[in-house]
Amino acid sequence: MAQIKCQNISIGYDKKPVVKDLTFSVNAGDYLCVVGENGAGKSTLIKTILGLIPTVEGKIEFGDELTKKDIGYLPQQTVVQKDFPATVLEVVLSGFQNRMGWRPFYTKKEKLEAQENMCELKIDNLSKKCYRELSGGQQQRVLLARALCGTQKVLLLDEPVSGLDPLATKEMYNLIKNLNNDGITIIMISHDISSAMKYASHILFVNQTPFFGTKQEFKNSELGHKYTHFVGGCTNE
């Protein structure tokens, strides 16, 4: 059963569509990479799924007992976020706020879950450090741990390796793949088509005539041949 289903939706701002007639579905355990040119509407799609902006046409349906509150979100970092004056633990714990309602304090269970997420992402030794003093790769791990505090079902990741050096990029991709192997559904925006082809199970190419299919179907498509040739080929994994 699909966790997220989009059927002939149009997305954009102020009722002006950026992308029209977009159809795709995401099942539990999928790893969907959303690719396309700058300005094609990839981030707009993520914000629409999260309910931050409405669809221009059509609607997005949730299944498998999934709600918007069950979705963890790692947005693109801004300069202000990189300079945020809080400890790592405080940033990670803030991932629970969407579920807290009017409750002012974190529960013992939430604190334990935050600690477990930091351990899984190998940042538990940084819990008392100031977030703005961390490297770019460490900051992204912290934000990923924060997103995990909001879900055990679906993660939406908007350019999670942007600005990272090659080693930190590889480590981040491996962490995300491990989370997917543990059963968390991944929807990730990426400009790195070669890595998308390596890790993803499905590809959504956003443009005027969107493509959605498995990784193999994308490889075999005319668009896949054109795009992967343009970036110098892709992995056969």
- Indicate the pLDDT class of residue 82, thresholds 50, 70 and 90: low
Q: What is the largest CA-CA distance in the chain?
A: 54
- If you average pLDDT over every residue of the chain, what do you get? 87
pLDDT at 150: 82
**Ranges 3-7, 26-30, 98-102, 143-147: which has the least confidence:** 98-102
> Do the Cβ atoms of 32 and 88 come closer than 8 Å?
no
pLDDT 10s digits, 214-237 = 999 998 988 877 766 544 444 444
Per-residue H/E/C for the chain: CEEEEEEEEEEEECCEEEEEEEEEEEECCCEEEEECCCCCCHHHHHHHHCCCCCCCECCEEECCCCCHHHEEEECCCCHHHHCCCCEHHHHHHHHHHHHHCCCCCCCHHHHHHHHHHHHHCCCHHHCCCEHHHCCHHHHHHHHHHHHHCCCCCEEEEECCCCCCCHHHHHHHHHHHHHHHHCCCEEEEECCCHHHHHHHCCEEEECCCCCEEEEHHHHHHCHHHHHHHHHCCCCCCC
Tokens of 197: 């082809």
Q: Alpha-carbon distance 180 to 178, whole Å?
A: 5
Q: Environment class of residue 209 by beta-carbon count within 10 Å: exposed (0-12), middle (13-18) or buried (19+)?
A: exposed
**Ranges 31-35, 118-122, 192-196: which has the least confidence:** 192-196
Q: Alpha-carbon distance 27 to 29, whole Å?
A: 6
> Do the Cβ atoms of 160 and 139 come closer than 8 Å?
no
pLDDT beyond 90 at 130: yes
pLDDT beyond 90 at 111: yes
> Do the Cβ atoms of 201 and 31 come closer than 8 Å?
yes
Write the CATH number of the domain with boundaries 1-66+154-166+184-237: 3.40.50.300
Instruction: Name the β-bridge partners of 186.
Output: 31, 155
Instruction: Name the β-bridge partners of 16.
Output: 13
- Indicate the pLDDT class of residue 105, thresholds 50, 70 and 90: confident
pLDDT beyond 50 at 80: no
pLDDT at 138: 92
- Indicate the pLDDT class of residue 192, thresholds 50, 70 and 90: confident
| Cβ-based neighbours of 80, under 8 Å, separated by 6 or more | none
pLDDT at 236: 41
> Do the Cβ atoms of 130 and 85 come closer than 8 Å?
yes
Where exactly are the structural domains of the chain?
1-66+154-166+184-237
> Do the Cβ atoms of 165 and 110 come closer than 8 Å?
no
